[in-house]
Amino acid sequence: SSGINAEYGYFSKERVSPDNHNVACILTLPPYQRKGYGKFLIQFSYELSKRDCQVGTPEKPLSDLGKLSYRSYWSWILLDLLKDLHGTVSIKELSNRTSITEDDIISTLQMLNIVKYWKGQHIICVTPKQVEEHLKSENYRKPLLTVQQDALKWAQKGKRGRPSKKQKSND
């Protein structure tokens, strides 16, 4: 049966990961694959990483469908951010804003052919028109399902799932 309480998938998150994994496992049940639930869970994991002020990457190796989903999600997030930026931006700044690791950002921008390696560093080379063209592609458009960031409640890392006093008073 479908409905608000149906199970579409699963993900697990290590609260503390020495390898900066923001997700240990994501699974979308077969009837719901290719319908946006996987990317929703990916976005959810990154929203939690942002709340913890951490950058992260999924645990590897990824399945073929996992690679496609992550690459598509990373591309959409980065292109969406780049379309609103004017001037220069560093890979580190993109990482800080998105909680995506610098390595994942570089590999995604390389796939999009919008980053060059020059004098020992990666330089983003893209025009607004190129960003818009990429965003029109079916592969990089906004996911069908997105996280409502203002509805997300999350206890900071190290709090063992209990909200802080400040959080309790705001609820």
Point out the residues that are catalytic: 59
Please report where in the chains the tokens 């951010």 appear, as a residue: 81
**Of the candidates 120, 124, 106, the residue with the CA atom closest to the CA atom of residue 55:** 106
Sequence length of the chain is 171
3-class DSSP assignment, residue 133? helix
DSSP 100: B
**Of the candidates 111, 98, 41, 19, the residue with the CA atom closest to the CA atom of residue 71:** 111
